[in-house]
Structure formats: C-alpha cells, structure tokens
A and B are shown apart, each in its own frame.
Chain A
Amino acid sequence: MMKKLYNLFYVMLTAVAITSCGKEFLEIDPEQQAAVNVVVVDLPTTKAAVMGTYSLLQSAAYYGRSLVILPDLMADNLYISRRNSSRYTSYDQYITNTNDGTASGSWNIMYRTIVNANVIIAKGEVLAVPQSEQAEVSHLVGEAYALRALAHFDLLKCYAAPYNATANASHIGVPVLAKSGTSKEDIINPKRNSVKEGYDQIIADLKKAISLMPATPVGFSASNKGHISQFAAKALLARVYLYMEDWSNAEAMATEVISSNKFTLLSNANYVGGSTNFRIQNNSESIFEVVYTSTSNLGTDRLAAFLFQGSSYGDGLATDDLYNLYSGTDVRKGFMTRGSRTSAENPANVITKYNNITTFEEGVKVIRLSEVYLIRAEARAKQIGKEALAIADLDMIAKRADASATTTTATGIALQNLILLENRKEFAFEGHRLFDLTRNKLAFTKYRTGGITIAIPSNSLKTVLPIPLAEMNANTNMEQNEGYK
C-alpha cells in the first residue's frame, strides 16, 4: 500500500509539474493595445495620445463627414438625391428622432475627443521630461487644450441653441468637462451646463493653448496644417468670439492671425483648379485641417464618396438656390458641375469640392485664412465706424473668387447681409451654413429633391440635434432638447 501511495504521489507530482501554472499563468498583458499606465508617461506616448485625439477628428461622425454635411444639409445648400444610400435622409426631411445614429455618433465622438484631451492635459501638465523635450511636451499639451475647446465648441453648435438665444447665454448648453478618468470609479453622469459656462471654458482653454504654444510650432513644421498651432488656436478663438458677438475681440484675434503673415490666400487661378488648389493638403491658406493619408482614410465613408459622383454614393447634391448665387465669373462655381445624376435627378448640381478618389489625401478644412478675413469683416461691420475696413476684408475674399466682382459699396444691414452671403458662397459644403443662419436668427427654406421645400422658421427647435436616446437612458441627469421632448 505504501508503495502505491508513493506511486500515486509521483504520478500526481509529474502531472502537476507538466500542467501546473503559477499565478503568472493568468497574468496576460494585451499585445495590440496599451494599458493606461504606459500612456502619457514620456514624450513619445504623449505625442501618440495627441495623434490619437486628432485621429478622432478624422471620423465620419466628426470632421470626416457628418460635421461637414449636416450644417449644409440642414440649411439651404445641400439636399439628398432621391437615389441614395439612406445616409442623412432624416435630416434632409427634418424628421430626425432621438434614436438617430448620426446625432449619437457625433455626440459620442466629440466627447471622446474631450476625454482623450483631458487625460493628456492632466498627465501631461505634471509630466517630468528632460529639458530638451519640455518644449515639445508643452506644445502637445497646448494642442490638447485647443482640441478640448474645439470639441466643446462643436458640441455647443450642434446640440444647443446659439450663444445669443438668451441675453446672457444662460440657456441650456452641454456638459462641460475639465477632467476625466479611465477606471470604473471615475464614471460620471453630468448635467448640462449653461451655454455661457461652455463658452467660458472654451475661451479659457484656447487662451491656455495659445500661451503654451510658441509662434513657431515645436514638433512639426509650420507648413504642416494637420496639427493645431498657436495661430490655429487664435483663429478658432476669433470664430468663438464672433459666435458670442464679442466683435472687438473677434476682430483683434483675427487681426493677429492675418498680420502674422504665416498664411496667404490661394490665387484666383489656383483656388478651384491648378496645382495648389483648395483640395491640396497643407496649402498656404489652410490654418488647421484634418489630414488623411493613403493608409489612414475613411475609405467608402470619406466625404468625397458621399458627394462626388462616380466614386461611391454621390448622395449629396447642391441646391439650385445655392448654384444660382454664383456669378458666371466666380471660380467657386467650379466646385459644382451642372449635370445629371444617373437614374435620378436631371439636371443635378454635382458637387466636386472634394474629388480625390485615388490617394484620398484630401484634408477637411477646419479653419482657413479666408474665414479669418470674413470673421474680421463681420466683426468690423458690426462695430461702429469700421465699415470701410469691413468692406476691404470682404472684397479681399469676393474678388479673389471673382476677378470681375465690383467693389462693395453697401453699408449697414446690407453690408452685413453681403458678408453673410459671401460666407455662404465661400464655405459651401464646409459645414458653416446652418450656424451662420441660426446665430443670425434667420428663417430659411430647406430644399429637397423633386422641388419639395420645408420652411424653417427662425425659432425652429429642430435646427439643433437631439440629445441621443442612449445618452438620455444612460445618464438620468441629462435633459433633452426642447424640440425632441
């Protein structure tokens, strides 16, 4: 019996020795992902986290498509072809409900941008790195501040009424987040802040970004417009002030960008066609754009696929109302072709502003120099005694596009309307139009295929997007927008 027990013992021992695995057997680290504790711990991982945040902007739910399409589609510039891929059709019809995937996609990606920026800011500001790397880390933290501001600004534009909807902007905005966590314990259910609180945070963040980034970028060359530079932050700040109707600050900030002489307008010949046209990434007019490469792009979800015929879908067409605005000599008319859409609209205004279907290296302009001119024009026109300066800025843009345009003579409201019109012509299909209409409290006509129109009053509750149903369900502190209750 003893011998048998020994046998048993040996067999067991061997079996366990072969198969036994210590505690470390269960300690497996991911290979394709990085654990949070190894991110933003040095310059390379801080840089990677900032690049990761930029990559969120590339998403089709953000600058990759939705944020460019929706403001034109929900206004009077764009409509969905009757032969379509079912994308954005509810916005074309103004029947969006709270369960809509586009509204939730954009909401999610913008907050994801903020959270990623928050982690970089929190860890990057206290990061100890060698002196030689300090300047670049600071610049990266500055970019994170600017990205956080940009995402908050975009959220407020899409999901809240304009800044001027109430006298002191006390109306409901979006949750404003200055810090975020990465563990279960950090999960939050915030309430919506007021629009004022949101803009305060945006201004503080952009100012902080400007202070952290020197005039000459660190870590990338000034000719690279795919990253936020000091002047990109200033240009964005100018736009923020404009939306707040803080005319003098808007003008001052725009002037800083223009007088820096770091950016130049594309020539008339090289604007729509030519070798360095609007579509070319990092062109001289671009201040900040979301860039794509042949290996990092949205494939069939890219903007060009949605708008350009002969690529994938070509669902989005320009309204006649827009097309007819351009004079025959305006080169910007060349961003459209009057043609037809196979088996659908004939005639159709086919959009060609985005057309790179070979390398996909076609950036989405977040802000460019012509906008800074028009911001300043508008800010000046709204201030007493600066109309002549406003006209100079306006004509700079109008004449660049149309060599035979006459010098503006209008004043007062007429001048302001001309600036607004120039905005519409200059930034068609760049995601501006709806916000320009709503911040000016204008009613407008939504055009659809087959001559159908929808009248949108100036106080429409449907020009803001719904808070996503999933957000409403997950966060009991969240309040729905009035138009979707």
Chain B
Amino acid sequence: MNLNATAIAMHTAWLPPKLLLTMKLTILMLLIALVQVSAKGYGQISIKQKDASLESVLSLVKKQTGYSFFYDSKDVRSAKVTINLSNVNLEQTLKELSRNMPLDFKIIGNTVLVKRKDVMPTNFTNTSLASTISGKVFDEKGVSVPGVNIVLTSDGFKQNTVSNASGDYQFTIINAGNYTIEASYIGFNKYVQVIAVKNSNIIKNISLVPSSEDLSEVMVVAYGKQTKASFTGSAKELKGPVLNGSPRASVQESLQGNVAGLISSNGSGQPGAVPNVRIRGIGSVNAGSGPLYVVDGIPLNDNQISGLNNYDIENLTVLKDASAASIYGSRAANGVILITTKSGAAGKTVVSASVQSGINKIIPIKGTEALNTSEMLELLKEGWVNKGNDPTLFEQEMLTNNVNANVNTDWFDLLTRTGNHTQADLSISGGTEKTKFYISGSHYIAKAPVLGSDFTRSTANMRISNQVSDKLFISGGLQVNNRNNHTQADGSNFGNPVRMYSQYQPWLRAYNDDGTYDFSYFNRYNPMAQVLESYSTRKAYALIGNFLAKYQLTKDISIENQSNVNFLYGENVEYNKSGVGTSRTDGGRATSSTDRMVNWVNTSILRYNKTFGDFGLKTYAGYESQKVTEVGNSITKRNFLPNTYTLDNASILVEGGSNGTSNALNSVFLNASTDYKAKYYLSASFRRDGSSRFGSEKRYGNFWSLGVSWNVLKETFMDDQHLFSELRVRSSYGVNGNQDIGNFASRALYGSTSYDNAPGLVFSNYGNNLLTWEKNKPFNIGLDFGVLKNRLTGTFEYYSRATSDLLLNRPISATNGLTSFTDNVGAIKNSGLELELNSVNIQQKNNGFGWTTSFNISTIKNEITALTSPIISSSYNRFVGGDYYQLYMTGYAGVNPTNGEALWYTDETETQTTNNYGSAKQYNQGSALPDVFGGLTNSFSYKGFSLSFQLYFNFGNKIYDNFGTNVNSDGSLGFGPTNRISRYSYDTRWQKPGDLTLTPKMVYLGSQSGTSSQNSSRFIYNGNYMRLRDLTLGYDLPAEWVKHVKLSSAKIYFRANNLFTYIKDDRITFDPEVGVDGFADKNIPVYRTALLGLDIKF
C-alpha cells in the first residue's frame, strides 16, 4: 500500500493548475482501491528520438498507449533523452527511461506518475559504486520511533527520508565521502553525526535523546504549540485515543472525569444534546459560564462542537488559568477548550477504518418500578378511608372516574426500547515531508432508548498542507457535517416520554380494542400517539473551512495569516398532529423554521523566536477580527389536511416572521515568553479587544497575564538527588473577560409587537453606554512532580478566580418598566484545589503485564462576594456570601408520627413546625454545587489485551427534584390521569400512629400535603454518587495474523458506559447525573451502553 504518489516537489509559491489537478487526482486515486495494474501486454511502443525533450517523448508514449503522465514540470523540463525502442511494452519503455534519467515511474490504473528519484546520483553512468546507509531509530528506552525525519547531506547532495513503521530508514548513495546525517523528531534533541562512506554498506542506528527542555512533551496552546516545560499556565491535554473510541455523540461528554476542575453535564441522554461544561466553577451570573471553544483556530459556539467527529480529533487542550487563556481576552473568563483536528503525517499512507456498534438502555434505578393498577388503587383506597369516606363507596368512585381495574398498562415498557448506535469511520492520511494530507468520513446513527428520539451525523473532513518552499507553508482544511435530530419534548414539557412513563396511571390504555389510540383521557394526550404521531426535527448543515499561509521571513521571524469561515444552516420542523394532545382542537399545527449563521474570523500573526546565549525568547503579535451574522425565519400554520405534513396543506396562518442579528470583535494581541537556561521561565500576554456588544463609551478592553515557572531539577543542588525525576513550580495571574451576553444588551431598545393588526413598539431594554466586560482575575499556583523515574507523576494546583464587574441582569424596581437591565455590578469568586496523579504501577515488559492508574480530584468553592440586591430566581437564592446555586424553599420537617400529617419548619431556625404549608417561610437549603468530584482510571495490559475502567465520583451537592410534588402527591390528586404515585411513597408512607417516616399519610383529594404548590426541602436530595462511567476491554490482534490479511494493525474492543451507579440517597428515583444546576427534571436519563468495536489500519 505504500505509494509515493504525492511526492512531487513544488517550485512556486502558488499551486499551478496542473499541480492542483495532480493533487486532486492523486487523492481520488488513493480513494479507489489503490490497485496497481500491470501494464504488461498492453499496446506496443516504438520510439526513436535523439536529444529530444523528455516531455515530447512522454507525449509520444501517451499517444501510443493511451496512458497519461503526471509530473511536476520542474522535474522534466530540462531533461533531454536519446532513446531507440521498437515494439516494447510500457513497462520496458519506462524502465529504459528510468535507467537514463533521475526519475521513477509508477503505473496506477492507466496513469503514470513521474517523480524525481530519491537517489540522485551525481554521475549516472557509474552505478556500481552504490552503497547504502541504513539503520533503525530508537528513543532513549530503546523503542523504535517511526516517522522521524532524517536528512543526509554532503557537498552538492541532499536527501530526505522518514523512518518507517518499525523505525527503519535507508539511503542509497553513489559517491564516497563524508556525509552528515541529521535526525529530528519532536521532543528530542536533533541528532547530528558525520559518517565517512567508503564503498560498502553502512549500518547506522540512531538513538534519540529527549530534548534538553527536559521531558519536553509538546502541547497545543493558544495560537500555537509549546513544550510542556516552558508552559507556565494550567492546562490539561487529552489526546485522541481518550476521545476517539467514545460512543458518546459529543466530545464534551468525554471530558467528565478526565480533567480536574471540569464538570461536564447536561443531565440529558438525548443523543446530540450539548452538555454544559464548567471549568473551575461558575464564573458568571447572567453572562455565559461555558468555555470558549476554538477548533483549529476558529472560535465556535458549543452546539457546533457536536458536529465534530470524535475520530477526527487529534487532541484537545483545556486551558484553565490566565497564563493559558488570557490571550483570548474578552472571551477567556470561563476557560478555553482548544480542539485540533488530525492532519497527515509524512510517510506511508495510512488507512484507518473503524466501526463500532452498541446497544443502550435506560438505567434502572432502584425503586423506580412503576406501581401497577392494584398497588395504585390500594393507595387511593387507603387515602379514601383516611379522608373519612365509607370504604364501600370506593368502587363507585372508581367507576365515576372511569377507572378500569382490569387494565394494567406498563408505560415504561411501551415508551422505552433498547436503543442502539453505530459509528463508522474511514480516514486516510499520509504524505511526504512537503505535502501532507488527512481525509476522513464518518457516519453516526443513534437511537435513544426512548421512543421517538434519534440522531444521525455524517461528516467529511479534509486537511492538506504543503511546504511550498523553504519559506512558505500553506495548509487548508474543510469540514462538512450534517446532523439530523429527531427529538421529543424534554424536561417538564407535555409529551415528554420520560415524564409520561413516570406519571401516567396504569389503568389508562394506550390503544382501544380495535387498535386505535385511546384518546378518552387527559385532553387527548395519549402518550403513544404523542410520541409516534407528532415530531420535532432539526437538520443542521455545517461547514468549517480554513486556510493558513505561513511565511518564514528570516530564520527568526515568520508571519502567518489564517482565514476561517464557519457556516451553519438549520431547518427545523415541529409538527403536532391533529387530534393529538396539544393539537386536539386546532386541526394540527406545525412550525417550520430555518436559521443560518456565518462566522468569519481572520487572524494574522507575526512570530519572532530567538536564543540569546542562555536566554531564549519566543514572541508573537497578532491581529484578529471576527464577525458573526445570524438570520432566520419561522412560520407557523395550523389546520392540516389529514395525514399531510408540509405547511402548504394547512389553511390558517398562526404566525410568521424573520429575524437577523450580528456581532463583531476586533483585537490585537501580543505574547512573549523567555527562559534562562531552561530553568526559569517567564511568559506574558496582552490582548486588546473591541466588541460591538458593549456601550459606545466602553467598547475596548485590555487583558493580560503573567506566568512564571521554575524547573527545580535544573538547579545544581538537585544534581545529587535521585528521588525526583521532574519537579517544577509554576504560577500565573492575569485578567481576562467575558462578553457572552446578547448582541445589543447595551442599547436602549424598543421591541416589535403588534396590536389590532397594526405594528407596535414596546420599550424592551435600558441603554447603558458604560456597559463593558465582565472581568475575571484567575490566580493559579501549581506543582508538577515526577518521582521514581516518573513512575509516579502528578500535578497539584490551587486556583482562585475572582470575577468582578459581573455582567448582571441587575434587578431594578419594576416601576422602571422593566425588571432588570444589563450592568457591570457584583462579584463572584471561585477557588479550589486540584490534584492529578498518574502512576505506572507495573511497567509492561516484553509484552507482559502492565498496570497504570490515573486519578484526579477537585474541590470547588463558589461565593458571591458582591451583589446589589439578592436575586431569587426559580428555586435559587443569590445573595452576598452564598453560592450561585443556593437552593431556596420551604423547609420540610417530616411527618407527625401520631397522625401522619406533613410538617414544615416555620422559618430557617428550624425550631418550630407547622402543619400548614402556607404559614411556613422559605429559606436557604444548601447548594447544588458539589464540594468534591473527580475520576479514577485504571488500565491493565497483557500481551495484546487491554482493560481500563473509569470511575467518576461527585460528593456534597444537593439535587432538587422538580417533579417531587407531582410523583409524591400523597393522594391529593385522586384519580388524576397523570398523577401516578412513586414507589418510594408506596413503600414508605405513614400508615398508622407511631410510624416514623418522611412520607405523609395518603389522603384522597387531601390538601394538607402533596399538593403541587408545596415545593419544599422534602424533594431536595443528597446528590452523592459514584459511577463506573467507562469500561473498555480491547484486544490487539497479533501482528502475524494481521500481516496475513495485509493489515498493519487491528484491534477489537468492547466498551460499556454507566454499568454501575452508587447513589447515596435512596429517595432518588432518577438518574443522579443531573445538570450543573442540580435541578432534576424529566429529561431523558443518561443511559447504559454496551458496544463492540473494530479498528483497523492498513
């Protein structure tokens, strides 16, 4: 499969059309089966030419055979050839040409690729002197290193090669003499050696030494790459392998448990849903709290990240502190997530294919099994009696309420299914030293374990780069994706299947005896009809394209420009079938809408890197502008013809409209870092941003950071110690910002409306010319250590981030006509400790047993430090001294054991109780934010087998069950069709005097407890849980087998997610992985997945 097809040197700055065609065709040819066809037996060739140009000879051959030639004109332009052939075949012709010329020919299909020979003898006539230099490249541990770039030079001679998959390289040379061999590879010192060549083959193994910048792993950072050693900030890098095999639709879900200080959760198992990511706490009240996502240099919004194919991600870096993130200025306050997609590597063309397929199920939580009809009736009858009614009249009451005790519908069974997903990826990458490419395509199909929820995604991705000349480098990428969501109502909306299966009474039927839907109850909200007949779909089409040109002006100075465009188009249809639920009277209703976004970013960067004696200096300055334009339109019609779905079939226009908005950002930035003897590092960054979102008088803001690090091991006093193999202290401080608010929040505005068919305007926003950035000042101090020759490495960090000038929807007296306006007031502080440990418990030797562990744990403390006035919003109370998710409601005091009545505390002193909910005061009930969370991953390997599992844990938070009052209604809702009572209530209810329980007695249509307005701490639960989030068992097929089927590697694996969950609080009858706000709604729960996958490379 090794094909030197793209090895065509380019000689001009811009691609000539012929070359472009060559490149395109080359890629095309790679894609088709890459079968080499023998040319034997084809048309015979006769040529007789003297000192003719090679081009004319090739053209003759083309005429006689029909074969086309692809070549770079530079290689053949000046070549003259004398040739005399008659009646030979193509192969012989090419052989003859090749003998006389420094060219190689390769036949592919009916095309011949012409390229310069790797070996460039200065004297072609004297071929007998040819000898080789060959060998293997090893790293310091003696492991072979593929992909190392090796250059062999001598006077008038230069040749390049790259070590192959097993680390081997080879040069063929003609002349004796002294040759310099240079090998370079990222993270290692450049290897340089002079070899004297006489007329014999030479074996020269190359041992690479890790570069002096100690364990210099290179990591992706803002606007470039940097060695880990020189990095003064706080960041966590995740490599492809952690992300690539994940069955989760969005990459953010793979961050949970892998990055200290990061919470990623949305509490919804809806495939394609975008998780909320919070890095180091909650930094804002009203502006966004999510990080900035930058994909290959393009800032994107979070829902576009789910358009990325996990397999295309090379690595992902989470930037947490000022030193790492402040260069992104006004958008860096909540951290930055950099995603780099894959690009090709020089060498053999690698084709990777992977396929995985799995099934998923809703996780059964103990105590969630629905009550059946007889259990439900038992409860209601008990309530009937408790109410003081005559037990013999209960049957009559059942009849009045149309309860058929013989029906026992299992709604969970009807509305859920075994979901599944399949992901297939194909990628091809490779190239030469000069031109590299990566192309891929993928398809992902997921069916959620509830009815009516599906997701598909198709992606295509191409990245190509070319070193045009010593100075000019260009690179371009294009990603296209199509996502189709078919979703059901989520959360607390009617028609949500999860809500329906947890609330519908078992005596209601889905279908009549004749198979039609039973619409006789609850406003025709038949759950099956709702899920199967109505739908909500979104089709999103996205395109991300970028082009980078980089020019090396001098040895030290380079300039680059990257232009990006990101395009998103979405089509949405929401359809409510006539006669079902919402559309029971309006004849069916549908909304069709489209939205389009164009995000344009252009960045120019000037870099200057130089070493002055013991000092190294790296700087860059840049200019960036961005504009995001969004438009959309929407139309709603109703009254459909039966079984029609397009809006043309509906007769009544409900509403129609269009919208448009945009914002722009203009910035300059500067970054400099210096080191002294790779011992002390100092870095600084500055950025000035101008944003269209802010007040005309405060449009520009300045952001900066300073970072230092000290490589303790480089000190002389550490020379004699053997304990530490790595020891570094680093710290940073700076200012960055948050501008994640509405586009026109600073303007005094009137919104549009209408009255009596006339257009109207209504005051909608207070103007604030002074509105500016929310300022975030992160401080970070960290210690990186490695002991026992890095058998145990770790990082310990303390951070605090103080956010001031909060972009707050500042509450104002409603007498101002509005209840809030956006202002810079208030402050919030987050702080915490993060510890990350990685250990090699048993080092794998000779393919034997190996065991590694990585562990991370984070604490989080959030405190509102300034606020103009307390803000009570939904169930949270935000006040100075409290934290952002402080729950606020009436305190539940349990059940009076003598009569079974519910009791509430009269106030926050919790000294007095009352049996009258209305006379109890609301007060603070604890925070929904966890105190501690983290992950533990263990990986074992033995021969080709690998086993790893990840545990995620989360302690110290409260969860509020939004549906608590509904599913624990204590009989107050009687036979209400959607008021089934929970099993927890059934099991724990008060039944007789003396019962000690938290669940009051059942009272049929009672109101002392269980009514829907009685929100209280009764439904606030302890959120502690631990979960076996991920388990992977993999097997690398033995090399011999793999070779047998002409593959270079093959791996099969089994993976399971969420196999086991420990929940502390037995009142929790839902999945404990709720959103960051601790609010448990009836979302599609996170589900359990099991899958099989196969990855092959050839």
Name B652's closest neighbour in chain A (CB-CB).
A294
- The reply to whether A116 and B661 form a contact with Cβ atoms under 8 Å apart is no
Of B602, B692, B743, which contacts A27 at CB under 8 A? B692
CA distance A104 to B811 in the complex (A): 13
- The reply to whether B872 and A12 form a contact with Cβ atoms under 8 Å apart is no
CA distance A37 to B763 in the complex (A): 12
Name A15's closest neighbour in chain B (CB-CB).
B604
Name A155's closest neighbour in chain B (CB-CB).
B815
Beyond A8-B559, A295-B654, A343-B521, whether A468 also contacts B759 by CB under 8 A is no
- The reply to whether A471 and B814 form a contact with Cβ atoms under 8 Å apart is yes
Name B589's closest neighbour in chain A (CB-CB).
A299
Interface size class of A (residues with CB under 8 A): 35 or more
Name B605's closest neighbour in chain A (CB-CB).
A15
Give chain B nearest CB distance to A192 CB in angstroms.
10
Q: Which residues, 588 to 647 on B, are CB-close (under 8 Å) to A?
A: 602-604, 606, 623-625, 627
- The reply to whether B869 and A473 form a contact with Cβ atoms under 8 Å apart is yes
- The reply to whether A28 and B662 form a contact with Cβ atoms under 8 Å apart is yes
CA distance A83 to B505 in the complex (A): 14
Of A19, A25, A190, which contacts B815 at CB under 8 A? A190
Residues of B within 8 A of A187 (CB): 766, 812-813, 816, 821
CB 8 Å contact bits of B646-671 with A (1 = contact, 0 = none): 00000011110001111111100000
CA distance A165 to B766 in the complex (A): 37
- The reply to whether A51 and B758 form a contact with Cβ atoms under 8 Å apart is yes
Of B557, B602, B744, B759, which contacts A8 at CB under 8 A? B557
- The reply to whether B750 and A49 form a contact with Cβ atoms under 8 Å apart is yes
- Does any Cβ of B come within 8 Å of A405's Cβ? no
- Does any Cβ of B come within 8 Å of A328's Cβ? no
- Does any Cβ of A come within 8 Å of B78's Cβ? no
- Does any Cβ of A come within 8 Å of B186's Cβ? no
- Does any Cβ of A come within 8 Å of B126's Cβ? no
- The reply to whether A18 and B561 form a contact with Cβ atoms under 8 Å apart is yes
Give chain B nearest CB distance to A154 CB in angstroms.
14
- The reply to whether B973 and A478 form a contact with Cβ atoms under 8 Å apart is no
CA distance A107 to B818 in the complex (A): 11
CB 8 Å contact bits of B113-153 with A (1 = contact, 0 = none): 00000000000000000000000000000000000000000
- The reply to whether B813 and A188 form a contact with Cβ atoms under 8 Å apart is yes
CA distance A469 to B871 in the complex (A): 9
Of A37, A54, A93, A357, which contacts B1007 at CB under 8 A? A93
CA distance A190 to B111 in the complex (A): 86
Residues of B within 8 A of A84 (CB): 1012
Beyond A15-B604, A21-B664, A183-B748, whether A54 also contacts B811 by CB under 8 A is no
Name B401's closest neighbour in chain A (CB-CB).
A343
Of B402, B751, B755, B759, which contacts A343 at CB under 8 A? B402
Of B661, B766, B815, B1011, which contacts A32 at CB under 8 A? B661
Beyond A21-B666, A177-B815, A342-B521, whether A52 also contacts B690 by CB under 8 A is no
- The reply to whether B813 and A475 form a contact with Cβ atoms under 8 Å apart is yes
Residues of B within 8 A of A11 (CB): 551, 553, 559
Residues of A within 8 A of B652 (CB): 294
Of A34, A104, A184, which contacts B770 at CB under 8 A? A184
Of A16, A86, A95, which contacts B917 at CB under 8 A? A95
Name A175's closest neighbour in chain B (CB-CB).
B815
| Most B-side CB within 10 Å, residue of A33, A184, A452, A476 | A184
- The reply to whether B744 and A30 form a contact with Cβ atoms under 8 Å apart is yes
CA distance A114 to B561 in the complex (A): 54
CA distance A45 to B431 in the complex (A): 64
Residues of B within 8 A of A295 (CB): 653-655, 754, 757
- The reply to whether A90 and B692 form a contact with Cβ atoms under 8 Å apart is no
Stretch of B1-9, B200-208, B251-259, B974-982 on the interface side: B974-982
Of B523, B666, B758, which contacts A48 at CB under 8 A? B758
Give chain B nearest CB distance to A465 CB in angstroms.
13
Residues of A within 8 A of B922 (CB): 97, 99
CA distance A455 to B615 in the complex (A): 87
CB 8 Å contact bits of A360-393 with B (1 = contact, 0 = none): 0000000000000000000000000000000000
Q: Which residues, 865 to 913 on B, are CB-close (under 8 Å) to A?
A: 868-872
- The reply to whether B815 and A310 form a contact with Cβ atoms under 8 Å apart is no
Give chain B nearest CB distance to A178 CB in angstroms.
12
- Does any Cβ of A come within 8 Å of B768's Cβ? yes
Give chain B nearest CB distance to A89 CB in angstroms.
5
CA distance A107 to B816 in the complex (A): 11
CA distance A7 to B743 in the complex (A): 39
- The reply to whether B819 and A108 form a contact with Cβ atoms under 8 Å apart is yes
- The reply to whether B660 and A32 form a contact with Cβ atoms under 8 Å apart is yes
Of A21, A36, A112, A452, which contacts B748 at CB under 8 A? A36
Q: Which residues, 3 to 40 on A, are CB-close (under 8 Å) to B?
A: 4, 7-8, 11-12, 15-16, 18-21, 25-28, 30-37, 39
CA distance A7 to B1007 in the complex (A): 83
CB 8 Å contact bits of B748-791 with A (1 = contact, 0 = none): 11111111111111111111111000000000000000000000
CB 8 Å contact bits of A441-479 with B (1 = contact, 0 = none): 000000001101000000000000000111101111010
- The reply to whether A190 and B748 form a contact with Cβ atoms under 8 Å apart is no
Residues of B within 8 A of A343 (CB): 401-402, 521-522, 975-977
Residues of A within 8 A of B538 (CB): none
Residues of B within 8 A of A26 (CB): 664-666, 690-692, 699
- Does any Cβ of B come within 8 Å of A180's Cβ? yes
| Most B-side CB within 10 Å, residue of A18, A48, A186 | A48
- Does any Cβ of A come within 8 Å of B1005's Cβ? yes
Residues of B within 8 A of A52 (CB): 750, 753, 755, 760-763
- The reply to whether B756 and A54 form a contact with Cβ atoms under 8 Å apart is yes
- The reply to whether A471 and B762 form a contact with Cβ atoms under 8 Å apart is no
CA distance A473 to B880 in the complex (A): 13
- Does any Cβ of B come within 8 Å of A111's Cβ? yes
Beyond A25-B666, A342-B521, A475-B815, whether A30 also contacts B758 by CB under 8 A is no
CA distance A76 to B763 in the complex (A): 37
Residues of B within 8 A of A8 (CB): 553, 557, 559
- The reply to whether B814 and A112 form a contact with Cβ atoms under 8 Å apart is yes
Of B523, B660, B763, B977, which contacts A31 at CB under 8 A? B660
Give chain B nearest CB distance to A300 CB in angstroms.
8
- The reply to whether B870 and A19 form a contact with Cβ atoms under 8 Å apart is no
- Does any Cβ of A come within 8 Å of B823's Cβ? yes
| Most A-side CB within 10 Å, residue of B604, B662, B823, B973 | B604
| Most A-side CB within 10 Å, residue of B522, B692, B752, B753 | B753
Give chain B nearest CB distance to A350 CB in angstroms.
14
Give chain A nearest CB distance to B1010 CB in angstroms.
12
Beyond A35-B748, A343-B401, whether A48 also contacts B761 by CB under 8 A is yes
- The reply to whether B761 and A34 form a contact with Cβ atoms under 8 Å apart is yes
CB 8 Å contact bits of A86-116 with B (1 = contact, 0 = none): 1001100111010100001001100110111
- The reply to whether A56 and B762 form a contact with Cβ atoms under 8 Å apart is yes
Of A48, A342, A470, which contacts B759 at CB under 8 A? A48
- The reply to whether A86 and B1013 form a contact with Cβ atoms under 8 Å apart is yes
A binding-site residues for B, Cβ under 8 Å: 4, 7-8, 11-12, 15-16, 18-21, 25-28, 30-37, 39, 45, 47-56, 58, 82-84, 86, 89-90, 93-95, 97, 99, 104, 107-108, 111-112, 114-116, 119, 175, 177, 180, 182-184, 186-190, 224, 226-227, 291, 293-296, 300, 310-312, 342-344, 346, 357-358, 449-450, 452, 468-471, 473-476, 478
Could you list 20 examples of A-B contacts with CB < 8 Å?
A: A30-B661, A33-B751, A34-B749, A34-B750, A48-B761, A52-B762, A55-B762, A86-B1012, A89-B1012, A111-B814, A187-B813, A188-B816, A189-B812, A300-B582, A311-B585, A343-B521, A358-B586, A452-B1007, A470-B872, A478-B813
Known A4-B553, A11-B551, A112-B763; 15 more pairs at CB < 8 Å: A12-B559, A18-B561, A20-B623, A21-B625, A25-B664, A26-B690, A33-B764, A49-B761, A112-B762, A112-B817, A190-B813, A294-B652, A449-B1005, A473-B872, A474-B819
The 10 closest A-B pairs by CB, nearest first: A115-B817, A95-B918, A51-B760, A52-B762, A52-B760, A475-B813, A36-B748, A19-B602, A15-B604, A474-B811
